[in-house]
Chain A
């Protein structure tokens, strides 16, 4: 099993650009989520999904969209990047909530 994979590993964007962070898992987990991690702060939940076709907002959803068309994939879209979205983004999955979560390796995003 590859576990949770994320691409790209690093990305630099200009303000106003859009992009999609990819997340995939091969463990047949129903629950997937996106977090951002900023210095001096704990991980903050952006969006989550309890299964294919079902998504919901987390703590900091503004400026981000998600979709869940398959069990395996959970992409995160930045609609119009802003410097405040400079962060490290982690995708995580679990069999269900609140079971143990498995995290991906992260995407380091810089918005200039």
Chain B
């Protein structure tokens, strides 16, 4: 069964600190992995999308890594800002006959001043 597990469920950090969010998946075959940021009351916005051959992808202060062998991904946020407070959703796209999106439940990040 396709599953995407994210950890921790929630996280509180101080402004300026770094943090890392985890995503483990069991989707196979694999096509790509996406990280979305969802602000409260808004729709998800894409941060990164990585295919099988990509290990790292950056978008400003956000850096996503992918280890397709262990089926793990992480999203690292550098020098956090108050505006980083949001839910971060990991989404895995299956390939071939398993061509569908599997969504994680999201990680709620709170950045405190």
A residues at B contact (CB < 8 Å): 4, 40-45, 90, 92, 97-98, 100-106
Contact = CB atoms under 8 A, between A and B. Distances in A.
B43 A42 contact: no
Contacts, number: 39
B43 A98 contact: no
Interface string B78-113: 000000000001000100000111011110000000
27 contacts: A4-B43, A40-B105, A41-B105, A42-B89, A42-B103, A42-B104, A42-B105, A42-B106, A43-B44, A43-B89, A43-B103, A45-B100, A90-B43, A97-B99, A98-B31, A98-B32, A98-B101, A100-B46, A100-B49, A103-B36, A103-B44, A103-B45, A105-B42, A105-B43, A106-B41, A106-B42, A106-B43
| 10 pairs of A and B residues whose beta carbons are closest in the complex | A103-B43, A42-B103, A98-B93, A43-B103, A42-B105, A103-B44, A105-B43, A100-B46, A106-B43, A90-B43
Interface of B: 4, 31-32, 34, 36, 41-46, 49, 89, 93, 99-101, 103-106
Contacts of A105: 42-43
B103 A90 contact: no
Interface residues of chain A: helix, strand, loop or mixed (majority)? loop
Interface residues of chain B: helix, strand, loop or mixed (majority)? strand
B44 A90 contact: yes
B99 A104 contact: no
Contacts of A41: 105
Given A4-B43, A103-B45, A105-B42, 5 more contacts: A42-B103, A98-B31, A98-B32, A101-B46, A103-B36
A45 B103 CA distance: 10
Nearest to B43: A103
Contacts of A101: 46
Given A97-B99, A98-B101, A42 B45 contact: no
Contacts of B104: 42
Which of the listed residues A4, A41, A90, A103 has the most CB atoms from chain B within 10 Å of its own CB? A103
Nearest to B105: A42
Contacts of A102: 46
